[in-house]
Structure 1
């Protein structure tokens, strides 16, 4: 009797939905965050139970959450930080000096370049990113080309300037104008790892040109220096002072050209030191020492090349030893 009543009551209660009944799975909604993480968590569990599961089928949530950096973002020098996936070679580069019509050249006082300078200064003179390279690049005009020839034939120096555990790459271009410097360096960057030191010796061939007044030349050289320092944070950019000459081809007078040379060297060296670079001054090569020059008054004689290469060697050794980044020491 009691059993029958219980069963009957149970049958009647089953027609009414119990407040404790579990909701159907189809009515349960997953939060947006859980829905996004769900597949990754599931694959994490699958990977834990089956180590042989392929990686592309078991991507973890930690990997999914890492933002992907675009591979084809050009840097300030016109180069790509890393080659785009669809490109097997470096893209064609436009010259650094090309400017759209109606625009003015960026200067160190412009907001963009000033921001770059501030960022580099935050690193500190002796606190640049450590370089894994033991190489040094020396880029410049025919003076660098002739200096390499002199050093390679000298038992005192050699191509690597007798610097221990260091490889020196020389790139001298006859008649080099400074607006081609960035293109040369970009080409080297596409072929070799970034060097520990990058020595730039150029600008003398531009002094006195009608289309390149002093103020414009100073601003452009500074712009290139800032861009290189930004794009190559593990490389110490070295400004090699423009040498004096007995004869300046484009200048109105030797005195005017000498004044421009001194102003360019002073302003560029000051900037380079502020952004963590280095400076080399050739104090023993003076315009009144005719024995250091060839008859053209521009290129150096054997005695002049010896003084030039010897200064390069001493300065680079000082920089490598972690001492003052200004040669000679002030």
Structure 2
């Protein structure tokens, strides 16, 4: 039966009954409670929203949030969770892993004239093998300059595994030098066994005397002057129809003077022109041997005027056919063996003694380094 005006008395207690409407203050409190439960809150100090005024809309004050990241959460890659910060919150201390002690090379500091600045800097360091060496800063530099260089690391440390070789020997010449270098690389050593000096070979096949000075100028653009310069050139100019023996001699002497002025501290060594059985520019071999007398004139000039030295090859003679190739110009393996060994012995003599001539003779021994200076 339908009742139009009266409701059943027990309907309010039914589980299906509609709840009574809420006020605006109750709706605000419920909304705030739901929001705070969505984010984890510190269990020590729960935040309770405060309500001011019963007849006005609720004003809820929420403290500012802060994100605190613990070291353990980073290690476990846990995403950050917002929590309400408190005044008693402590920042976790991150513990560092123990490091193993490093072994440094022994430091050798020069005691004379070295003073450290406020940062403890004496100079720049270089490692030779397993030992340190220190190049002290100039005494004229102030502490501010030394400290700035030290802190900014403007001077790098150079690691040196091998001994630095700053002295060079240049051997420049025609195709005979070219093939001598090939032989030395295969049989002996391109450095001819020297450890204190490095040998630089520069052989140009078909080289004539006019190419000598430009070649040296070109090499000096990217290299320092050598300690010793061995010149083995001029054989391809013997018998030149555009010149005479005297004219060629004067031209070669003027070039030697220019080279000595270009490299005043370099010892110029004249390497004698070898004999040939085929002088292509001469009418006969006898004529070519006559031109080869220029050797004695150039050797004397280099030693006396340029303070140089001279290398002669008495064992290489034209009658020893086995020392030459079939063309009668270039040396065979046996001839290159004598030629390279003579170069090595002569350079060793010039570096260790005051002799200026190789091989030693009664005449050349009278002309020594000390006598000519």
Relative to the length of structure 2, the TM-score reads: 0.52
Aligned residue in 1 for 2:206: 175
> Which protein shows a greater Rg?
2
Alpha carbons of 1:216 and 1:133: their partners in 2 closer, same or farther (altered >3 Å)? farther
Aligned residue in 2 for 1:329: 360
Q: 1:268 pairs with 273, 278, 298, which one?
A: 298
CA–CA distance in structure 2, aligned partners of residues 325 and 193 of structure 1: 23
Q: 1:192 pairs with 198, 223, 238, which one?
A: 223
Aligned residue in 2 for 1:80: none
The answer to whether the 8 Å contact 1:282/1:308 transfers is yes
- Aligned-residue RMSD, C-alpha: 1.8
CA–CA distance in structure 1, aligned partners of residues 269 and 244 of structure 2: 24
Deviations 1:247-282 (A, max 9, x none): 110101101111111x21010000000021010000
Shift of 1:133: 4.3
CA–CA distance in structure 1, aligned partners of residues 286 and 222 of structure 2: 41
CA–CA distance in structure 2, aligned partners of residues 325 and 225 of structure 1: 17
Task: Verify: 1:308 aligned to 2:339, yes or no.
Answer: yes
SS in 1 for 2:310: strand
Aligned residue in 1 for 2:245: 214
Shift of 1:221: 0.8
Structure with greater proportional helix content:
1
CA–CA distance in structure 2, aligned partners of residues 142 and 212 of structure 1: 22
CA–CA distance in structure 2, aligned partners of residues 171 and 252 of structure 1: 30
Over 2 Å off, 4+ runs? none
SS in 2 for 1:138: strand
The answer to whether the 8 Å contact 1:201/1:242 transfers is yes
CA–CA distance in structure 1, aligned partners of residues 166 and 232 of structure 2: 21
Task: Verify: 1:149 aligned to 2:179, yes or no.
Answer: no
User: Which runs of structure 2 are paired with 1:105-184 in the superposition (5 Å)?
Assistant: 133-154=166-187, 157-184=188-215
CA–CA distance in structure 1, aligned partners of residues 228 and 192 of structure 2: 14
Shift of 1:215: 1.0
User: Which runs of structure 2 are paired with 1:62-141 in the superposition (5 Å)?
Assistant: 133-141=166-174
Shift of 1:316: 0.2
CA–CA distance in structure 2, aligned partners of residues 191 and 254 of structure 1: 41
CA–CA distance in structure 2, aligned partners of residues 194 and 133 of structure 1: 10
Deviations 1:20-74 (A, max 9, x none): xxxxxxxxxxxxxxxxxxxxxxxxxxxxxxx99xxxxxxxxxxxxxxxxxxxxxx
Deviations 1:3-25 (A, max 9, x none): xxxxxxxxxxxxxxxxxxxxxxx
Aligned residue in 2 for 1:320: 351
SS in 2 for 1:153: helix
Relative to the length of structure 1, the TM-score reads: 0.59
- Could you list the runs of 5+ residues in structure 1 that have no partner in the other structure? 1-50, 53-131
SS in 2 for 1:248: coil
